[in-house]
């Protein structure tokens, strides 16, 4: 047979997959490996989805998505962050941030363009850059700096082919929130070198030590903002997110989207309308709950001897496991076999994640406490 696309063939399968396969075979596993809320979608939103089905909203919507939903998203960004996006021309609804990321990279990149990707980062960033014909250029961040992006390190990686910087804050897997100064420095760099900023802000509502800074307010002319409903509203399976971007970028995103996806699911869009129409109590209650678990879990990790940077957002802790003398993969694999606790080895998120494990605290408190007991026993046995 003729060879397949070499870029895709050369892309390794996600390192997470292997742990999923092992964990799925085992009983009594406490999983700290889950990258989604343990809450189900709040009932009022589910009920709106059921209503939409009952009343036959099973058709396509316009390519860019329901006008009402786009208005609500832009209003929400305006109220929350002071961002100014035109719902008609600068906003489109995607099937989650995952599609949004793919769309925007395809729109921004010409073959061979480079995208600077600070890591450790979400597993899809580098592959999606590659699939869009670009070259990801990794830039390390260090846990000693709370994974803050160092603009000097980014500057050193800029070449004439650099087109964009891709960041996620609050971050999966580190839980790090980029400090305002780091974002300001990135904006200066981007303006100096005329780069786009692709900002994955899917965890924007999940911050615990201060308000979130929306990059779309700092550099609206060059920021492509990616967001969605999965995390804040516990709607991962509905697959609904959005892109807000300068009109020229948004227009081309719609163009790709209309031919590849056509539109996001109608029922999901109507559920998302409900998510943004109703009171915010559900989100506040979930965030408060994550925060309490975060405090208990991070303190517990430190008490059993694992250094853990303070995660300011998302629902992940990213403790260092260097004191064990094991690399991340070995640690995670042995922990799973010895104590049936599933975590994700940090190196799957980039080389700077080596020496760490990602632990999701989107898990009931008694499970977190039991996991801490088991990890402590594992560390002592080692």
Partner 1 sequence: MRQILELLERDAQLSHDTLATMTGIPVAEVSAAIAAWESSGAIRRYKAVVDWDAVDGDSTAETVTAFIDVSLAPARGVGFDDVAERIARFPEVRSVYLVSGSQDLRCTVEGRTIRAVSDFVSQKLSTIDRVRATATHFVLKTYKRDGDSFATPEADHRLPVTP
Q: Give the interface with partner 1 as residue ranges (CB under 8 A).
A: 14, 16, 19-20, 23-24, 29, 31, 33-36, 38, 40, 122-124, 172, 291-292, 295-296, 299, 342, 344
State the minimum distance, in angstroms, from the CB of residue 298 to partner 1: 9
Query: What is the chain's Cα-based Rg?
Result: 21
- Minimum CB distance to partner 1, residue 19 (Å): 5
- Nearest approach, Cβ of 280 to partner 1 (angstroms)? 17
In the complex with partner 1, the residue whose CB is nearer, 23 or 157, is: 23
CB of 24 to partner 1, least distance (A): 6
- d(CA 75, CA 300) in angstroms, rounded, equals 40
Closer Cβ to partner 1, 151 or 342, answer by number:
342
Cβ-based nearer residue to partner 1, 216 or 227: 227
**Residue 299 or 337 having the CB closest to partner 1:** 299
Closer residue to partner 1, CB minimum distance, 73 or 359: 359
Between 6 and 12, whose beta carbon lies closer to partner 1?
12
Tokens of 52: 């939409």
3-state secondary structure 48-111: HHHHHHHCCCCCCCCCCCCHHHHHHHHHHHHHHHCCCCCCCCCEEEECHHHHHHHHHHHHHCCC
Is the CB of 258 or the CB of 340 nearer to partner 1? 340
Distance of CA 230 to the CA centre of its chain: 10
Other CB atoms within a 10 A radius of the CB of residue 298 amount to 20
Which residues lie below 8 Å from residue 221, measured CB to CB, with a gap of 6+? 246
Q: CB of 41: closest distance to partner 1 in angstroms?
A: 11
Nearest to 345 by CA among 80, 133, 123, 79: 123
Furthest-apart CA pair in the chain: how many Å? 60
Candidates 281, 229, 296, 310; CA nearest to 65 is 229
- Rounded Cα distance between 369 and 318, Å, is 17
Q: Whole-number minimum distance, CB 38 to partner 1, in Å?
A: 7
Nearest distance in Å: CB 211, partner 1? 18
């Amino acid at each position: 047979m003729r060879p397949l696309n070499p870029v895709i063939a050369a892309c390794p399968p996600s390192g997470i997959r292997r742990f999923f396969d092992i964990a799925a075979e085992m009983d009594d596993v406490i999983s700290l490996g889950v990258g989604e809320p343990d809450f189900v979608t709040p009932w009022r939103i589910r009920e709106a989805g059921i209503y939409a089905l009952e009343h036959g909203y099973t058709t396509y919507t316009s390519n860019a998505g329901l006008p009402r939903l786009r208005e609500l998203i832009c209003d929400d960004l305006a109220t929350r962050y002071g961002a100014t996006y035109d719902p008609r021309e600068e906003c489109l609804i995607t099937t989650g941030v995952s599609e949004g990321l793919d769309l925007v990279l395809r729109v921004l990149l010409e073959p061979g363009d480079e995208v600077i990707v600070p890591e450790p980062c979400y597993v899809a960033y580098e592959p999606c850059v590659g699939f869009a014909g670009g070259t990801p250029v990794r830039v390390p961040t260090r846990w000693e700096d709370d994974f803050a992006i160092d603009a000097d390190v980014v500057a050193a990686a800029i070449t004439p082919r650099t087109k964009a910087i891709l960041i996620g804050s609050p971050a999966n897997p580190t839980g790090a929130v980029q400090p305002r100064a780091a974002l300001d420095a990135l904006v200066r760099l981007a303006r100096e070198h005329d780069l786009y900023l692709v900002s994955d802000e899917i965890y924007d509502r999940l911050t615990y030590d201060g308000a979130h800074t929306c990059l779309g307010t700092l550099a609206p002319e060059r920021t492509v903002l990616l967001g969605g409903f999965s995390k804040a509203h516990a709607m991962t399976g509905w697959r609904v997110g959005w892109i807000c971007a300068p009109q020229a970028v948004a227009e081309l995103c719609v163009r790709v989207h209309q031919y590849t996806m056509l539109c996001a699911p109608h029922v999901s869009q109507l559920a998302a309308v409900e998510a943004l129409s109703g009171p915010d109590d559900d989100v506040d209650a979930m965030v408060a709950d994550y925060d309490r678990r975060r405090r208990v879990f991070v303190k517990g990790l430190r008490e059993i001897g694992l250094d853990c940077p303070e995660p300011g957002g998302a629902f992940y802790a990213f403790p260092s496991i260097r004191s064990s003398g094991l690399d991340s993969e070995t640690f995670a694999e042995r922990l799973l076999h010895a104590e049936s606790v599933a975590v994700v080895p940090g190196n799957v998120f980039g080389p700077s994640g080596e020496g760490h494990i990602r632990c999701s605290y989107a898990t009931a408190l008694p499970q977190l406490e039991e996991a801490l007991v088991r990890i402590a026993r594992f560390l002592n046995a080692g």
